[in-house]
Structure 1
Amino acid sequence: FDTAPTGHTLRLLDLPFDYAKQVEMMISTGADTDAKEVAQRRFKEMIRMLRDKSHTVFSLVLYPESTPITESYRAMLDLKKAGIETQVVVANMILPEEVCVNDFFKNRRKMQMKYLKEIKERFNLPVLQFPLMEAELKGLQRLGVAVQEILKV
């Protein structure tokens, strides 16, 4: 599933762990034992699946710029502390070389290439490059186009 920007995602991922603590508190307060046990099992299973690379793929999607790289790297470290490994980085909105016909776009692309190199070195993970598209990536049809673009690179 797709989530909100980094800070929101990390808080979202904390919820199962916090909820597991609440389930443990329910057990100590004497709430319905069957319901508590079912809830506890379900959340332990969810946490296990989040940590299992054969069931869950975590990818960080970022722009090739300084602040998003720093934020994403911190997110990767926070996820790792929670036992969740990031498996791929997607560099988004890369300017295609063929559209860089003036100094502004040439300079932006040069900057992006510098940051792509930093991403590859810093994260030490596979990096997929996704070009800047003329339309927003929304819906299954656009997602299909996106997959084809990523596979080209």
Structure 2
Amino acid sequence: MQRVIIPLFKTAIIIMGLFVFIFGFIGLPQLAEKAATLNPEYAHLQYPILIGIELTAIPFFIALHQVYVLLKLMEKKAAFSDSAHHRLKRIKFCALFIAVMYIAGSLYLSIQSALHPGVAIIGIAIILTTLMISVFAVMLQKLLIRAKEMKVENELTV
């Protein structure tokens, strides 16, 4: 079963990365150009928003890489290592950074009176999702620490 699941997860991570790369760096600029043409009163926000969204792609790709490395550790039966703990910590910080960037962007758009309700809903969904990922990473960190403690305890009793 594990022989199938881990390669499947790796493939899903690669597909997600490709999708975000293609949409974020090819489709999104074209979409921003159309939006600026259709709404000239908000055209001055085109590049700040585009840069902000593309900046959040950096921690997204870092987090994807960390998940990929975690899957490799699971393949090597080293899921309870210090390396896994550090990977989870990086994922947590990447998710928090993305949430902070979207909160700052939402505040900026709100101050500019340019926060469309549809954009706000998408922003809130992204913020909540990244916060959930961050909380999940913290929970996994705590479980990992507890599992390592139990492993050491078992080794001492044997």
TM-score, with length taken from structure 1: 0.33
Relative to its length, the structure with more strand (as a share) is 1
Q: Which fold has the larger relative contact order, with Cα–Cα distance below 8 Å and residues 6 or more apart in sequence? A: 2
TM-score, with length taken from structure 2: 0.32
